[in-house]
């Protein structure tokens, strides 16, 4: 069974990013803030974005990673494929994938 959620708060996203491959060098900054613990501001191949600390080992990605956030409006239904430190990686009904904060959705049956 797959987790379906409905967006309860618009999420504007922060632009589209390429998928960075395992082994890509990552420069981490400080942990972002108390609301999103274990997420860090970072730079990868000239892109400033955010990453869960667990995705980085010895200054490199330990898995493929795309930091794109889904742009969603209230009422949209998403299928969640991964949950990482209060963020969900999901697919919308148009087939787009990306991250959305868990506080922006509720579970649906």
CATH number at residue 42: 2.30.30
Percentage of the residues of the chain whose pLDDT score is greater than 70: 94
Q: Which residue has the higher pLDDT, 10 or 2?
A: 10
What's the pLDDT at 43? 95
What's the pLDDT at 14? 87
- pTM of the predicted model, to two decimals? 0.89
Q: Which residue has the higher pLDDT, 92 or 31?
A: 92
100, 14, 40, 5 alpha-carbon torsion, rounded to 10°: 0
Q: Give the range of the structural domain holding residue 79, as residue numbers without chain letter.
A: 3-14+68-108
Q: Verify that 23 and 62 share a domain, yes or no.
A: yes
Question: 26-30, 39-43, 83-87 — which is least confidently predicted?
Answer: 26-30
Given a cut of 80, whether residue 48 has pLDDT beyond it is yes
Q: Verify that 72 and 88 share a domain, yes or no.
A: yes
Domain tally, the chain: 2
For residue 83, CA distances in Å to 29, 87, 88 come to 22, 6, 5
Q: Verify that 21 and 40 share a domain, yes or no.
A: yes
**CA–CA dist 92, 21 (Å, integer):** 23
Q: Verify that 62 and 27 share a domain, yes or no.
A: yes
């Amino acid at each position: 069974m797959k987790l379906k959620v409905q967006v309860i708060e618009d999420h504007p996203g922060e632009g589209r990013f390429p998928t960075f491959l395992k082994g890509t060098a990552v420069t981490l900054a400080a942990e972002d803030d108390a609301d999103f613990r274990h997420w860090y501001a970072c730079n990868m191949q000239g892109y400033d974005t955010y990453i869960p600390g667990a995705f980085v080992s010895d200054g490199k990605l330990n898995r493929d990673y795309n930091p794109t956030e889904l742009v969603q409006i209230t009422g949209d239904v998403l299928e969640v494929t991964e949950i990482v430190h209060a963020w969900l990686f999901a697919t919308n009904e148009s087939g787009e994938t990306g991250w959305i904060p868990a506080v922006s959705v509720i579970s649906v049956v």
